[in-house]
Chain A
Amino acid sequence: MVNGKKLYVSASPHLRSTVTTRRIMLDVILALVPALIASAVLFGPRTLMVTAVSVATAILSEFAARKIMKRNMTIGDLSAIVTGMLVAFNLPATIPLWIAAVGSFFAIVVVKQFFGGIGQNFANPAIVARIVLLLSFGAQMTNWVEPFSWKTTPVTGATPLAQLAAGETPSASLLQMFLGEHGGCLGETCAAALLLGGLYLLMRRVISPIIPCSYIGTVAVLMLIKGHGDLQFVAYELLSGGLLLGAIFMATDYSTSPLNSKARLIFGIGCGLLTCLMRLFASMAEGVSFAILIMNLLVPYLERMTAPKPFGTPKKEKKEKKEAAQA
């Protein structure tokens, strides 16, 4: 019955997904484009320059690091471009270009390549780069300009988050907040563009909704408690700072977020909790980057804590407890 030619024996896997790293990264880049356009409109063409420098440095560093370490070339997977764009999105528009380059270099070489390249890094490269730059160049990293002021003379101004921390109502209206008409890092202000990118990633199934939803949800709930039910306060908190950028694009990074849904839920809630704690009680106005970094470090433990039970195996703990009780 069985024809020798039709019997085909091979090792698994027998079905291969068409999803490649390159396709995922391309999707993320596409999802970041609306925010990039928004930043260019809001803060002027200089943002494109900052992004270009950041991306170029990221690619060059990745190329040089792989060459020097004699590893196979991974530029083709486009992940360096994503990292470069995210680093740029975390900088204010006025940043000196060399600082953007330092940030990208640090993200790619120290955080990513020293630990083995894509998939091996323990923390999100862009997040660490942002924190390193913030600790190193505090003045340059918090030099915010008012939107549209690039057309005449750049005017520096406070971010809504700083105003919230000082107990004031931000000078921008909620609609302005949603459209990004307020001071901040170049990629984080326009909530509409970020949500558009997030929706695209969800539709393409590049990211799962668990982390962004639990992250943003936790912040919303905690801020609702803090504001004694003041919905306007909650909306301002959600739309200001790097929350949306962090929740949609940085906390969902594949190599630094958990794999299973339960761990992802804890991861998101943890990020939200830490972000709120830092925003409300720390000396800094923003805590998103630190929150994500801390949760990045906890990912291995979350994974171990929530490891699923193999199908058909007995429940270990209860049995042990019973035996202990009997003895």
Chain B
Amino acid sequence: MAEKKVSLGKEFTKGLIKENPVLRLVLGTCPTLAVSTSIVNALGMGVSAMIVLICSNIVISLLRKIIPSKVRIPVYIVIIASFVTIVQMLVKAFVPALDAALGVYLPLIVVNCIILGRAEAFAGKHAVIASAVDGVGMGVGFTLALCCMAAIREVLGAGTFLAGAQDLLVLFGDNVLGGFNGFTLIKEGSALSPMTVFILAPGGFFTFGLLMACANRIAESRGKPKAELKGCEACPMAGSCSIRADGGACEDGKEEASA
């Protein structure tokens, strides 16, 4: 595993659209669909996962020469789980409302494919700083995707925007920003009523599909080859694919690079 030279700027920006973990790599779908019913939840989830991702990327990258490759997955999981436990305790202590809202999805960050995927595909092969930057980029991409989905779902499905903002603002003290707790766009009893389906699972999938199409469109318009046509060339994981690095292709019978 020779270390490639990487440009830090590129490592950061690739996570935003081109290799956006949710919309382009389709990782971490479960928390994405479950948590993106309100922007506040999405933001909390995104930031928590980002912290875990950055920390685990750094530690795994530091230990990458020590970890035997045969047991690397259990080792990664242990590292990730430690950070998730820390983050969960912090969230419980400082933003308890968020902990209640996210419920089981907070501890489930342990098995979030994005974090394990980045450990496997990037942090295990790259130097510390590059891995940290990759974590930041992927984390921001995850948070952005979650927030975009949540914005659409919350506005259409509940008729509110940033509802429950105090849950997060409690970090900075009581009644910050004059007790701002979100806008109610569709008032109760008005002629319009929110489309509840967008808060439910089907609406989550609709929004997910829509945003994926948009992300593909943007990524392709920037000269990325079309996803269906070019095989490995078009795979968003191509840059860090170990099968490809060995000169093989993952198409014969196997799925795309594992995550």
Residue numbers of A with Cβ under 8 A of B are 96, 98, 102, 110, 114, 132, 135-138, 140
Q: How far is the CA of A215 from the CA of B118 in the complex (A)?
A: 51
- Tell which of A96, A102, A136 touches B196, judged by Cβ atoms closer than 8 Å: A136
Check: B193 CB closer than 8 A to any chain A CB: yes
7 A-B pairs, CB-CB below 8 angstroms?
A98-B191, A114-B213, A132-B202, A136-B194, A136-B196, A136-B198, A140-B193
Q: How far is the CB of B221 from chain A (nearest CB, A)?
A: 14
Check: B229 CB closer than 8 A to any chain A CB: no
Q: How far is the CA of A135 from the CA of B206 in the complex (A)?
A: 14
Are the CB atoms of B193 and A132 closer together than 8 Å?
A: no
- Tell which of A102, A135, A140 touches B202, judged by Cβ atoms closer than 8 Å: A135
Residues on B with C-beta less than 8 A from A132 are: 195, 197, 202
Are the CB atoms of A136 and B195 closer together than 8 Å?
A: yes
Residues on B with C-beta less than 8 A from A102 are: 195
Q: How far is the CB of A101 from chain B (nearest CB, A)?
A: 12
Residues of chain B at interface, number, CB under 8 A = 13
Check: B71 CB closer than 8 A to any chain A CB: no
Are the CB atoms of A135 and B200 closer together than 8 Å?
A: yes
Are the CB atoms of B191 and A96 closer together than 8 Å?
A: yes
Q: How far is the CA of A114 from the CA of B206 in the complex (A)?
A: 11
Are the CB atoms of A135 and B197 closer together than 8 Å?
A: yes
Q: How far is the CA of A96 from the CA of B194 in the complex (A)?
A: 13
Are the CB atoms of A110 and B206 closer together than 8 Å?
A: yes
B186-205 to A contact mask, C-beta < 8 Å, 1/0: 00000111111110101000
Q: How far is the CA of A76 from the CA of B139 in the complex (A)?
A: 48
Q: How far is the CB of B210 from chain A (nearest CB, A)?
A: 8
Are the CB atoms of A135 and B192 closer together than 8 Å?
A: no
Residues on B with C-beta less than 8 A from A114 are: 209, 213
Are the CB atoms of B196 and A138 closer together than 8 Å?
A: yes
19 extra interface residue pairs, beta carbon distance < 8 Å, beyond A98-B191, A132-B195, A140-B193: A96-B191, A98-B192, A102-B195, A110-B206, A114-B213, A132-B197, A132-B202, A135-B196, A135-B197, A135-B200, A135-B202, A136-B194, A136-B195, A136-B197, A136-B198, A137-B193, A137-B195, A137-B196, A138-B196
Q: How far is the CB of B219 from chain A (nearest CB, A)?
A: 18
